[in-house]
Amino acid sequence: MDFDLLTVFLENLQAMSVAKQERILIAVSGGPDSMALLHLFVRWNVRNIGAFHLNHGFRETAARDAAFVRDYCRDLHIPVEIQEYDINRYLAASGESKQQGARKIRYQLLKNFAEAGGYHRIALGHHGDDQAETVLMRILRGSGLHGLGGIPMQRGMFIRPLLTVSKEEIIRYCQFFGVPYVQDETNLEPIYLRNKVRQELLPLLAEEYNPEIMTRLVQLADLAREDELELQTQAEEICRKHMRWQRGQLTFPRGRFLELSTAMQRRVLRRLLELYRGHLRQISFVHIEQWRRQILENPSFQLTLPQVWVSGNVEYIFVGTFSAEEWEPVELTVPGQVQAGGFTVRAELWERDQLPPRTEDCEDFDLEELQLPLVIRPRREGDRLRPFGGAGTKKVKDLFIEARIPVQLRDFLPLICDQEGILWIPTVRRSHRAALSDSTRKVLRLINVSHS
């Protein structure tokens, strides 16, 4: 039965090592893609799934879509979370585009709910047509090999079991199994680049140049992703062999760097930043190339990149500015901002109903559940923390090991505490204490501004 997607769905789950005992949160908009995904997960293991729907309020039919998802899930006895968020208000404050801002909020709310609810994975309904559109859009923007890899089937908690399936196959599946769905009218508006690519450019390419353009673009993504993975593996091996942690800085021999090809130089620099910062957010090709030119052209240099200093002399390239000097505990006023152990930490106060979405650089606490004042201090022997979502306490040392924090940096990481214990270790874990609840009125937001 070529209309039944269960076989390819199961193959993709197996490729991502998704086990039946795992709890899966499914992002359900109500459209055919997410409804087919939900239906397939029901056939897979209905006992370990839940649904999440975000009512962003963009369209007049948003409330209708939320009610549709709620009723469908309740009829099948599937736990469903319907959340509302004023994204227009967030966009006005952030200045982000409608699609970019909505995507950011949706992913963060999904992740927050999944972590709080004990879900292991978050399933999204992206399909092969989405992949082809993404690759073509990135070609238009002049993307490199990494960008041509398109949408990954798996990244962190997020999985996309339908990424190898076409939109047409999804529609046929819904029709055959009687899976109901609603239509998002904004998908037809040609004001967005993706919609213009979907409605105008891809049909033109298929009609005038190559009727298999969709398949070829998906194939290009697969080839580019495999090649990029191989090059990334080489860069990781080069870094592992030659980089060193010294006085809290990450160092790499300049002579070895100059022996590398241009392509590998860029990948090594990206990898060094990723190892030091834990992520590559806000780092663009321009930053990497600016840094690379400094290494090639100047015997010594200093350069400020987002959230980190980089520098170099005739022998070494340096990432970061940590020193080996000990640092003393400092009090963090609420609201306020301090530097501690090379980090900058800010405390903000918010009314619960005005709270912006949480990002990976911050954590939220119920103010009334805390014992002020807050103190930021280095780790101590015997420090323990009960992680958020965990059943018992853990040694801070073990949390550092699990988070793969280099030994050289562990004494520099700030432990943010109230008078009863540790609340949060930025880049590592937060405590279970003072979690937000329905009764929360005032929220303390702690933000890791930088560690540079």
Residues 134-187: tens digit of each pLDDT:
999 999 988 888 889 999 999 989 999 999 999 999 999 999 999 999 986 555
Asked whether the predicted pLDDT for residue 452 surpasses 70, the reply is no
Task: Return all residues near 389 (Cβ < 8 A) that are at least 6 apart.
Answer: 115, 116, 118, 432
Task: Look at domain 246-319 and name its CATH class.
Answer: alpha beta
Superfamily (CATH) of domain 6-217: HUPs (3.40.50.620)
* Cis amide bond preceding 180, omega within 30: no
Q: Which of residues 286 and 358 earns the better pLDDT score?
A: 286
Order of strands across the sheet that contains 249-253: 244-246, 249-253, 316-319, 308-312, 301-305
What number is the average pLDDT over the span 268-281? 89
Tens digits of residue pLDDT in 333-382: 999 999 886 678 999 999 998 888 887 788 999 999 999 999 999 999 99
Q: What's residue 342's pLDDT?
A: 67
Superfamily (CATH) of domain 330-450: Phenylalanyl-trna Synthetase, Chain B, domain 3 (3.50.40.10)
Copy the structure tokens of residue 200.
Answer: 């105008």
Report how far residue 425's alpha carbon sits from residue 49's, in angstroms, rounded to the nearest whole number: 31
- How would residue 451 be classed by pLDDT, with cut points 50, 70 and 90? very low
* Cis amide bond preceding 161, omega within 30: no
Tens digits of residue pLDDT in 306-328: 888 898 888 889 998 755 567 78
- The CA-based angle 75-78-79, given to 5 degrees, is 120
Furthest-apart CA atoms within the chain: distance in Å: 70
- Number of residues that this document lists for the chain: 452
Domain ranges of the chain: 6-217, 246-319, 330-450
Could you tell me the CA-to-CA distances from 133 to 45, 163, 224, 386, 429 in Å, in that order? 31, 12, 15, 44, 37
